[in-house]
Each structure stands twice: as C-alpha cells, then as structure tokens.
Amino acid sequence: MIGEKRMANLRALMESVIADNVPGDFIETGVWRGGACIFMRAILYAHNIADQCVWAADSFEGLPVANELKYPADAGSSFHTYKPLAISLEQVRENFRAYGFLDQQTKFLKGWFRDTLPTAPIRQLALMRLDGDMYESTMDALTNLYPKLSHQGYVIVDDYHAVSACKAAVHDYCDANGIHPEIIDIDGVGVYWRKSDTTRHDSVSAALGPSGMSHEMQISSLKEALIKLTQMVIAYLKQSLTDRDGEVAKLNQSLADRDGEVAKLNQSLAERDGEVARLNQSLAERGGEVARLQKEVSVLYSSTSWRITKPLRLVGDIIRGSQGN
Ligand SMILES: C[S@@+](CC[C@H](N)C(=O)[O-])C[C@H]1O[C@@H](n2cnc3c(N)ncnc32)[C@H](O)[C@@H]1O
C-alpha cells in the first residue's frame, strides 16, 4: 500500500540508524497485510542483525470507530467501515511465513493501540512508522512510543499529507511536548523526522517542566523513582520475611526447650512412681515379717506356759495316784 518511494525511504532510514548504531527495535503501528513490516524484517536480515526486532501493532480487525468526544478531529471518520482494511492476524502471520520471517525477531501486538501500546514490552526504538490513518491512532502511537525512541531515531508518519486528522495529531503532540521537529516530505503523502536535541524548542527552558526537567526527563526520573521504590519495598519485604523466620526459629527453640522440660518432669515422675512402688513392696515385706514374728511369739508363749504348769500337773498326778492306792 505504501508505494515505492515510501519503501525506499523506509529502507534508507533503517540503514541510516543501522549505520549510526542507534539502539532499539523497529515498529509499525497499522500493518494491514504486513507488507512494510515484512520489508523491515528483511532489511534486518540483509544486514545480519539478530538482536533487534520488528514489532507489528494492529487490531487485525480494521480501524476503530471514531471517539468524537475525545478526538473531535476524527469526527465523521468512516474508516472503521472499510472491510478490506481488516486483515486477520493469522493471515498476516501467514504472509510473514511466506517470506521466511515468522520468527523470534517478529513480534505482534494485537489489539487497539490505546490498549496494547501503553503496556507493550518494548524497551527502546530506533524507528517508528505510524500508519494508523486516524487522529486517535497517530496520537496513541506518539504518546506511548515517542518517549521510547532513541536520540537520532526516526519517526515516519505515513498519512501526514493524506489525512488532516493525522497531521493534527502530530502537531498537537509536538506542541504539547515542546518538540519542533524538522518534518521532511517523502512523496507528497508521507513524512519523517529524526529525533534529536536540535529538534527541540529553541528555548530549552520552554520544554522544561517546573522542576527544570523536560517531559521525557520527568518520565524517566519518575520511572527511576518507581524502580527505587519497588526495590525498597522488595528489600523491606525480604527483611520482614527474615525477621519472621528468626521469630519462628525462636518459637521452635522455646517449644523444643519446653518439650525437654516436660520430658524431664515425666522422667522424675516415673522415678517417684518407682520409689513409691518400692516402698509399698518393702511395707508389704515388713507386714509379712511382723505376722511371722507374732506367730512365733504366740507359739513360744503357749509352750512356756505348758512348761511352767508341768510341776502342777505332776502334783496333780501324784495326788490322783495316792487316792487310787
Ligand atoms: C492503512 S492500513 C496500514 C497499511 C500498512 N502499513 C501497509 O504498509 O500496507 C491501517 C491499519 O491500521 C490499523 N489501525 C488503525 N488504527 C488502529 C488502532 N487505533 N488500533 C489498532 N489498529 C489500528 C488497521 O487495522 C489497518 O490494518
């Protein structure tokens, strides 16, 4: 769809960032059948680049219904009714496969830009090609991706001269962010500019916020602060986990000590029980001895009285004998 001039321009800009070692990946927002993206992936292949990739962002179901309240510039847009612009992800993948480029260096972001771009796992970009036709689509891409574009990276806006809403989005974004790019025409339809410190507002301070930082610097320092905060929270959570572990270990130790004490008490109770049993045993033995002694005494007593009364019995016998004579 983009024609030979815009293809040649795309190749020239890609080869420019490759030659200048501008870091980052490449993205097209609005891929349709995937033609320009496949071309971008092929340029990486031709330059033996294996550590950068091409992101293909699209709803894969056509353009969105205009949100006229939020984006009045899109009022009256009927792009969403153009069925030929709705090409499925499966079809686009198949097109990449046909060229041998359905691989790790091709990444798809399926969904409306407003949903996919804010959280897309893109770290840095060397070139961004915007081809979403509408104000919303152009604005969503600039808002979410331009801060990730490297210094000396390129922005290509495919519909700048063809769709006035698209042009309006570019200027609204640039004005709001104090960016005054040198916009270069490609073929009377598409344009591009190179991101650079020199494309900023003449008076740098105009681009700076109340803190003396540019919008991008503020975002990056906020990001840094967020990372630091996250690291502090993680450190705090780790520390409190360690403290809890220490407390749990102490509790386990004191439970073990108590168990030891209980075992000792049980042991001394068992020893006392043994002693009581022994005492009962010796009491029973003494009882038996006392009974035996009592018996012996009673035997002794009875035999002594027999002996003591023996003379009396003799006298009795004598008396009884004399009486009989
Ligand atoms: C003109 S076509 C893109 C042509 C393509 N770049 C090429 O080289 O052939 C526009 C594409 O943008 C997609 N699109 C436009 N706005 C979108 C949005 N807000 N979210 C997701 N996709 C969008 C449409 O689905 C469509 O595939």
Global confidence as pTM: 0.65
C-alpha of residue 118 to centroid of ligand 1, in Å:
17
Domain definitions of the chain by residue range: 3-207, 214-325
Atom of ligand 1 nearest to the CA of 62: 25
Q: Which amino acid is at 286?
A: R
Domain 3-207 has CATH 1.25.40.340: no
In order, the DSSP letters of 249-313 are HHHHHHHHHHHHHHHHHHHHHHHHHHHHHHHHHHHHHHHHHHHHHHHHHHHHHHHHHHHHTHHHH
Is residue 132 within 8 Å of 112, Cβ to Cβ?
Answer: no
Closest CA to 170 of 113, 197, 132: 132
C-alpha of residue 32 to centroid of ligand 1, in Å:
5
Helix/strand/coil for 54 = strand
Pocket test for ligand 1, best of 9, 33, 79, 137 (most atoms within 8 A of CB): 137
> pLDDT tens across 61-72, in order?
999 999 999 999
pLDDT (0 to 100) of residue 220: 72
> pLDDT tens across 85-119, in order?
999 999 999 999 999 999 999 999 999 999 999 99
Q: Report the pocket of ligand 1 as residue ranges, CB < 6 Å.
A: 1-2, 28, 30-33, 35-36, 58-59, 62-64, 85, 112-113, 131-134, 136-137
At 307, the pLDDT band (50, 70, 90 cuts) reads confident
Distances (CA, A) of 266 to 256, 259, 269, 271, 284: 15, 10, 5, 9, 27
